[in-house]
């Protein structure tokens, strides 16, 4: 189902944030009983809560370019405003120069305001998710029509196994070549399914809108997010360091937790770094495969040579 991936991902991130909030409120209840608190322990909770709020806010901003339908725009802007307010309140609390112990009443205003805004945000996320589901086919159908026309244009890039066509600011079309015994339909379905799996699991890959099939030419492909990124070899030193750090972290997770071999997705090949958002993206997932222990161990040795994450 189109956009299920987004809903699942947003739900996951929101669940992590909610978990951080629960841990925070448990600490708050203990403080309320004692009427005093340990600043160091309290700040650990608030900093973690702040980190999760920023992750959720960042995800909302990233996805907003795809889902700002007319009937969503006002709610989405309001939702982003709620999380901006929550982050500001978290910062206010974490930056206060309290003594080691303090009367809890000095925190109650900020904490109650965070609680109210968080509840508002959760209700709004559910509402927005429902609207996205109701409207999902609109954007996908539009991109499919654009893709049909794009096939008559020259591709903007060509790799060993695929052509890439421009579909505007939001998306690209990847058409798989028929080479030897490979099956373009299977390649498209495989990359689409892997893309959904990894994206919903938090891996930094493009968003996959859906499959594409041209019956007239019997061409198969996927419509995916256009990443406004730069190849590793064209990055400045500071961005290279950040890209390497993120790449190592992503690949370690893929190897250790998912047990996948990312094949030819190397730091200097099949990655793009968004210099504005300071975020690396792994691309070309169609040849990624499940791997056994000896292969995974060799991959770990390779990734460790890149330095600490």
What are the tens digits of pLDDT across the range 290-308?
Answer: 988 888 898 888 888 775 5
For residue 258, with 0-12 CB atoms within 10 Å meaning exposed, 13-18 middle and 19 or more buried, which class applies?
middle
Beta bridge partners, 220, equal 213
Q: Which residues contact 157 (CB under 8 A, 6 or more apart)?
A: 163, 164
Order across the sheet with 162-166: list the strands. 157-158, 162-166, 171-176, 219-225, 208-214
What are the tens digits of pLDDT across the range 65-82?
Answer: 555 444 566 666 777 677
All CATH 3.30.200.20 domain ranges of the chain, comma separated, are 151-225
Q: Does CATH number 3.30.70.270 belong to domain 151-225? A: no
135 touches 127 (CB < 8 A): no
What are the tens digits of pLDDT across the range 255-283?
Answer: 888 899 888 788 888 899 999 888 999 99
Task: Please provide the DSSP assignment of 104-117 as one string.
Answer: THHHHHHHHHHHHH
> Strand 279-282 to strand 289-290: parallel, antiparallel, or no bridges (unpaired)?
unpaired
H or E segment at 194? helix 184-200
- From CA 278, how far away is CA 281, in angstroms rounded? 10
Closest listed residue to residue 127, CA positions, set 56, 67, 55: 67
Using pLDDT thresholds of 50, 70 and 90, give the confidence band for residue 239.
Answer: very high
Q: Which residues contact 179 (CB under 8 A, 6 or more apart)?
A: 161
The stretch 32-50 carries a mean pLDDT of: 65
- Residue 272 phi/psi, 5° resolution? -135, 140
208 touches 199 (CB < 8 A): yes
- From CA 214, how far away is CA 218, in angstroms rounded? 5
Q: How many CB atoms within 10 Å of residue 193?
A: 13
CATH of domain 4-135: 1.20.120
Say which residue, 234 or 35, is predicted with more confidence: 234
All CATH 1.20.120 domain ranges of the chain, comma separated, are 4-135
Percent of the chain at pLDDT > 70 equals 64
* Summary mean pLDDT of the chain: 78
């Amino acid at each position: 189902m189109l956009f299920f991936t987004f809903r699942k991902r947003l739900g996951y991130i929101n669940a992590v944030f909610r978990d951080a909030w629960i841990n925070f409120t448990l600490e708050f209840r203990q403080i309320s009983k004692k009427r005093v608190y340990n600043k160091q322990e309290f700040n650990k909770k608030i900093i973690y809560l702040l980190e999760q709020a920023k992750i959720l806010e960042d995800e909302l901003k990233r996805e907003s370019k795809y889902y700002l339908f007319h009937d969503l725009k006002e709610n989405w802007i309001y939702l982003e405003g709620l999380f901006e307010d929550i982050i500001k309140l978290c910062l206010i609390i974490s930056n206060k120069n309290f003594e080691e112990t303090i009367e809890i009443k000095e925190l109650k205003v900020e904490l109650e305001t965070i609680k109210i805004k968080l509840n508002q945000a959760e209700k709004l996320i559910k509402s927005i998710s429902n609207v996205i589901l109701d409207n999902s086919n609109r954007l996908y159908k539009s991109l499919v029509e654009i893709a049909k026309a794009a096939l008559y244009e020259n591709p903007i890039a060509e790799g060993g196994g695929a052509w890439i066509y421009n579909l505007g600011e939001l998306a690209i079309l990847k058409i798989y070549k028929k080479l030897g015994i490979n099956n373009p339909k299977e390649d498209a379905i495989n990359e689409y399914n892997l893309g959904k799996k990894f994206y919903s699991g938090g891996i930094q890959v493009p968003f996959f809108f859906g499959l594409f099939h041209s019956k007239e030419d019997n061409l198969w492909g996927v419509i995916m997010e256009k990443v406004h990124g730069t190849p590793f070899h064209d990055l400045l030193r500071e961005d290279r360091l950040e890209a390497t750090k993120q790449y190592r972290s992503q690949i370690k997770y893929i190897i250790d937790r998912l047990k996948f071999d990312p094949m030819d997705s190397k730091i200097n090949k099949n990655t793009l770094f968004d210099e504005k958002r300071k975020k690396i993206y792994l691309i070309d997932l169609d040849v990624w495969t499940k791997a056994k222990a000896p292969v995974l161990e060799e991959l770990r040795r390779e990734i460790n040579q890149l330095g600490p994450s």
